[in-house]
Amino acid sequence: MFTLNVFQAENIPTATFFTGLSPPTFYKLTIVIDSSPRIIEHPSDLIVSKGEPATLNCKAEGRPTPIIEWYKDGERVETDKEDPRSKPDEGVYVCVARNYLGEAVSRNASLEVASKGFDQVYFCCSFSNNIALGIHRLV
């Protein structure tokens, strides 16, 4: 029986080890190292028109793959891609990624629901000897 101790392990996909026997015996091992969750994409602040869907994104990595839960103003919320946003959905959201090794919490993201549609802004440029920039606001 052989015992292999790995100190200060890193995420190494494969490694070859050999015994001190003569002739040496080689073993190819796959080392799988579990890791606590880490947020790799934080949600961003978002403003949407009333009745329009809102999507906040959060990505995490870890092994085993973390489970992501969403919280709004400190309370857990269920996610529903088909549910259009309304005024009560405004608030501050965070995602929490968890596995058996721990959890990671994202930065805060604010969701604001605008009561009317957004103004359209057009930028017009004309070129001659001078450059002119005109901004037209349609209401």
Could you read off the pLDDT of 77-114 as tens digits, one per residue? 876 656 554 456 899 999 999 999 999 999 999 999 88
Q: How confident is the model at residue 124 (pLDDT cuts 50, 70, 90)?
A: low
Phi-psi region of 89 (alpha: psi -120 to 50; beta: other; left: phi over 0): alpha
Per-residue confidence at 127, pLDDT binned at 50, 70, 90?
low
Instruction: Find how far residue 39's CA is from the centre of its chain.
Output: 6
Q: Is the pLDDT of residue 10 over 60?
A: yes
Q: What is the pLDDT of residues 40-73, one digit of tens each?
A: 999 999 998 888 888 899 999 998 999 999 999 9
The pLDDT of residue 105 is: 97
49 exposed, middle or buried (CB, 10 Å; 0-12, 13-18, 19+)?
middle
